[in-house]
Structure 1
């Protein structure tokens, strides 16, 4: 009976993870995402289901959940700033609803951290992403009108997701998880390598140039962290300095040659409109730099967002940059709180890798923090309600401070 309950809980967890990642129900219920966001009642019901499941499962092990909850104050301070932003928000009611959704999302992160070790969490994510990859391929074969074709490119894949960039971002994360598990796990290693290859293939089929670059960088980041951080300080510091110098030089060269490089692959230096969008967003940030416009309201058909849309001449759903969206929502106050927590945990992850060289789980912290930075340069996942990435950010931090395995 105990084994059955454990298996049932794992299945429910995988289902919840898929809801946050994106389910096959979404394109089916919205006719290939042709219905408006307000008509997608199924989404709200599914996320409400995850909140109820999280609260129920946390109640069963409330002592461990309370312990995990108390292990990092900055993510909860950030949630508190989101709540307080309702006092200066453009729409306080919307902010409160969004904060409740964010709290429910983070609650699921607390459950994961209190119930599973970090590696167990990643294995559950690997199961979920494997199912998602299979469904993306199945949709492309059986109902291509729902899964292939994006604005400006009728051949790019989007799978079971709303657009190609989401598919690309999702399997950059998937590639990182499969690669990490393949490098640190002995069991079923060939299956994990297969998952890594399929993830890379889906990133290629999405035709998201940014995602492809991030996929390569995440793979390289693991290898670099794995090799370099175990060296002696006298060797590590010069190597890190050299790699940083080379990285900056390559970045500078890329910027100077952007027209030629992007033009050769059919892209342009506007990064699909982002180069026009970001200056317009910065102008709006300058109007409320300290506290922002309130959590989750700026892009909700506000008069302020309409100014940005009129400027760029396309319907931007967000700033396509997580750091700018965080600044828009919570001002420098929110950016400052997030930055402090991020830097502290990043440095702590480096210390854990060097101090506890027998544990590979600490490497995931560094890899995922790198992914968080990269993914938020051109998309938005920071402090995003109902976001798989934000759940994994919360669990990565909390799990690193909860060394013992949480049992039922």
Structure 2
């Protein structure tokens, strides 16, 4: 039986394959530590063979993606000065290949298909966690929390946050109305909210609330003209900065964290940040090498593992993307990462402001904001085989796609129609 190429690599025409591929990829990312090499090989098997279907279509002109590969490139180069060259080499290869697979996904997925795949995949991930999960003591917070089938409650909370965002986008951005998908989004949305509540992760709850509020607000902003949006975005940006500064100095941050039984020291994270800054100062320009700090046998990580009761002596980090990057890849790596992050954020925000309607950037900008907020307390985009890394580079790759303006008359007719009520 012959399978048409479009059923595999044509965005919008490959829904059956693409939704399944995204869903399985997310499951592989979630439980790669549990299932090991099998889940990683399955992830590669979903994307790399598409090159053989039509390499011109799947790979495209990779000269345009050089800036996207910059961080993976510095991770590779760090092998030459790494304190643990073999560790850095293996991790850099894994990171590079994930970026490669993600950019293949960019070429064969549209934003709606990605969203449907996220709904399906996150639903499977959370069901598995509910069925086979457990609670454990969080050494950072010194509390027992439901972690599902993950090693950390923050990872469960991350997937639950993404589940709520994907469900919102499916119904209110892409207007999915088929009963099967409406039912699926309802179930996954409720399951995501339940897991978010059970994991008791302040980071995940707060970021989910902020991003969902942003997405609701953007629905109002997108009814305005591009010129009106520019003024609103500038005013809104200034207001956010003022409120953030006021929140720090007036105690609003402590009040919010107090709801979750925490304070602004984040129960141990600030100590980790101090230790990370101290470690970064020892190799300020190029760092100790990609993933070459948390290596068994090295005195400093051994000390921190012991202080935080990490018996496995693995799976630990400084709980801050920028500190972790500086420790591993120095100020050079940090500048590359920050440049990439800002380019992605500004690129999708600019499309939202200037285009009459751009559902793709509507979703991807919200995901970027989620990753940005979490970057100050997690390292979602620094490790291979991570859903955060996949989404980060997916957002980057989509900036290289051609911007297509929708028909103005059709958009105007749609704008005059009443919006569906949110319940």
TM-score class, shorter-chain normalisation, is 0.7 to 0.9
Paired position in structure 2 for 1:133: 126
Q: 1:368 to 1:265 in 2, by over 3 A?
A: closer
Is the CA contact (8 Å cut-off) linking 1:130 and 1:195 kept in structure 2? yes
Q: 1:264 to 1:211 in 2, by over 3 A?
A: closer
Query: Is 1:336 equivalent to 2:335 in the alignment?
Result: yes
CA distance in 2: counterparts of 1:62 and 1:116, whole angstroms? 15
Q: Which ranges of structure 2 fall in alignment gaps of 5 or more residues?
A: 9-13, 405-423
TM-superposed deviation, 1:363: 1.2
Equivalent pairs counted in the alignment come to 380
Is the CA contact (8 Å cut-off) linking 1:182 and 1:193 kept in structure 2? no
Query: Is 1:361 equivalent to 2:360 in the alignment?
Result: yes
Q: 1:339 to 1:9 in 2, by over 3 A?
A: closer
TM norm structure 1: 0.84
Paired position in structure 1 for 2:275: 280
Moved more, 157-166 or 190-199: 190-199
CA distance in 2: counterparts of 1:14 and 1:261, whole angstroms? 34
TM-superposed deviation, 1:337: 1.1
The C-alpha deviation readout for 1:268-288, integer Å capped at 9, x for no partner, is 443131111110111000111
> Where in structure 2 are the equivalents of 1:274-313 lying within 5 Å?
274-303=269-298, 305-306=300-301, 309=304, 312-313=307-308
Q: Which ranges of structure 1 fall in alignment gaps of 5 or more residues?
A: 27-41, 140-145
Match of 1:149 among 129, 136, 139: 136
The C-alpha deviation readout for 1:321-364, integer Å capped at 9, x for no partner, is 11111111111101111112222222221221122222211112
Paired position in structure 2 for 1:30: none
Match of 1:170 among 147, 159, 163: 159
CA distance in 2: counterparts of 1:342 and 1:262, whole angstroms? 27
Match of 2:149 among 160, 175, 198: 160
Paired position in structure 2 for 1:18: 27
TM-superposed deviation, 1:133: 2.1
Paired position in structure 2 for 1:35: none
> Where in structure 2 are the equivalents of 1:374-389 lying within 5 Å?
374-389=373-388
Paired position in structure 2 for 1:62: 55
**RCO (CA 8 Å, sep 6+): is it higher in 1 or 2?**
1
Paired position in structure 2 for 1:87: 80
CA distance in 2: counterparts of 1:371 and 1:247, whole angstroms? 16
Paired position in structure 2 for 1:179: 168
CA distance in 2: counterparts of 1:147 and 1:400, whole angstroms? 40
Moved more, 81-90 or 396-405: 396-405
Paired position in structure 1 for 2:408: none
Paired position in structure 2 for 1:248: 245
TM-superposed deviation, 1:303: 2.0
Paired position in structure 2 for 1:38: none
Secondary structure of the equivalent of 1:150? strand
Paired position in structure 2 for 1:319: 318
Q: State the superposition RMSD in angstroms.
A: 2.7
TM norm structure 2: 0.81
TM-superposed deviation, 1:194: 4.2
